[in-house]
Structure 1
Amino acid sequence: MSLELSESLQKTVDALTESFSKKILDVYQSSGRTFVLVDLNSIIEISTFLKENQHFTYLADVFGIDRYTSDDRFEVVYNLISLKNGDRLFVKVRCEEENPEVDSVTSVWQSAGWNEREVYDMFGIKFNNHPDLRRIFMPEDFEYFPLRKEFPLLGIPGSIDLPNSTPDTE
């Protein structure tokens, strides 16, 4: 499969596939962006390589996806930018529905902390070795994960105290 990549991004993809041939599961383009699906257990090693050897020093975002499939239900996507080359690369890992866990990349990019907390809060994906993994939007005792596809659109009645939405008439 041939991808239309900038010269520098092509060098990055080539370096990844050369250095991590068994750990790169897929490389593809969608909507003009390049995605690399990597082995779940290799995210720290590959992230370190991308930052130190390929100049992807800026982690713009980390987000979760609920694929709602029976295998590898959840994805965590890392939006990386090389400020040196002006390239953008999306690195993805997939994890199972039961006890989804991914190694935290905060040891590579400290800025991942807040984004990983948000993914944990909304999807229930735990980030191993995260320095402060706790809920960021929902109460600590909230038992649900609002961005999972099975979560009801109107929420779960009685699961969280909400303010009265009816204005006082006095």
Structure 2
Amino acid sequence: MSTNGAGEPGTGEGSEQGTRKGMFGVSGSGDTSGFGGLVRPVGDPHGAQRPYGGYFDEVADLLAEELAKRDVGFESAVTRVVVDRGELTLYVRPERIVEVCQLLRDSDGLRFELCSSVSGVDYLDAPLSTDPTEQSERLHVVYHLTSMTYRRRIRLEVGVTVENPHVPSVTSVYPTADWQEREVWDMFGVVFDGHPALTRILMPDDWDGHPQRKDYPLGGVPVEYKGAEIPPPDTRRAYR
């Protein structure tokens, strides 16, 4: 967990804004997951205020300084800063993601040398903004960066629409993102422009659709074992 200068948890975390029931947001069908009765608090992802706590303020300030050297305002690259569960997340505009990653990697005071993970998220029914212009950005790409020099970790997040799911590839900055971006493309359909070989990595090359999108049909997929077929979840018996 991040701490401020006095050793107490950082004060930048947002407040809770409601609750969400169940694990997967499914309603009106049989629940075979066992998570139907789960009630979880939903945090406010917009309200981080300084001090963020720990090294988070230093990272934000140093990144702002590096962007200013390129005549780029911090708000022109980062749309919001979120501190939640002891993690710092910078929401980056898609067109700035490569530039931000390069600055985070190469700047002496930052030195985030490792991109340990690139993953996808589909916020089908839970838009992260009350602004109608942002609600369509349901597909998000999340980058976990690690500074081995300073032993620090941060998250970057980029949102795009289903109609225009394009994000520049960061493989020129972090070669480890190669196969991870392929997996996000395969599962979520995010197109990484400039990727050296954006092909499927888990599903067959001729597979139709992207299985981890939340509007992707579940079940009913023929299995190559004695002609067996997995029934869709809404036709399975629900045990209560």
Q: Confirm or deny a common fold (TM above 0.5).
A: yes
Q: Which residue of 2 aligns with 1:101?
A: 166
Cα distance, 1:74–1:166 mapped onto 2, change above 3 Å? closer
Residue identity (%): 33
Distance 2:171 2:223 in 1: 34
CA contact (8 A) 2:78 2:92 kept: yes
CA contact (8 A) 1:16 1:24 kept: no
Larger radius of gyration: 2
Q: Which residue of 2 aligns with 1:45?
A: 99
Instruction: Say yes or no: does 1:65 pair with 2:112.
Output: no
Instruction: Say yes or no: does 1:30 pair with 2:84.
Output: yes
Q: CA deviation at 1:13?
A: 1.0
Q: CA deviation at 1:165?
A: 5.0
1:55 to 111, 115, 119: 111
* Stretch of structure 1 that moved more, 11-20 or 65-74: 11-20
Q: CA deviation at 1:137?
A: 0.6
Moved over 6 A (4+): none
CA RMSD of aligned residues (A): 1.8
Count of residues in correspondence between the two structures? 162
Q: Which residue of 1 aligns with 2:53?
A: 5
Mark the runs of 5 or more structure 1 residues left unpaired by the alignment.
none
Distance 2:53 2:81 in 1: 12
Report matched runs for 1:1-170 at 5 Å. Answer: 1-7=49-55, 9-18=56-65, 19=67, 20-21=73-74, 22-53=76-107, 54-68=110-124, 69=127, 70-154=135-219, 157=221, 162-164=223-225
CA contact (8 A) 1:117 1:134 kept: yes
Structure number with the higher helix fraction is 1
Mark the runs of 5 or more structure 2 residues left unpaired by the alignment.
1-48, 68-72, 128-134, 229-240
User: For 1:71-120, what per-residue CA distance to the aligned partner results, in whole angstroms no more than 9, with x for missing partners?
Assistant: 11111010000011111000111111113010000000000001000000
Tell me which amino acid in the other structure corresponds to 1:57.
E
Question: Equivalent residue of 2:192, what SS?
Answer: strand
Tell me which amino acid in the other structure corresponds to 2:210.
F
User: For 1:115-169, what per-residue CA distance to the aligned partner results, in whole angstroms no more than 9, with x for missing partners?
Assistant: 0000000001010010111000111111110000011231x54xxx5312579xx
TM-score by length of 1: 0.88
Tell me which amino acid in the other structure corresponds to 2:57.
Q
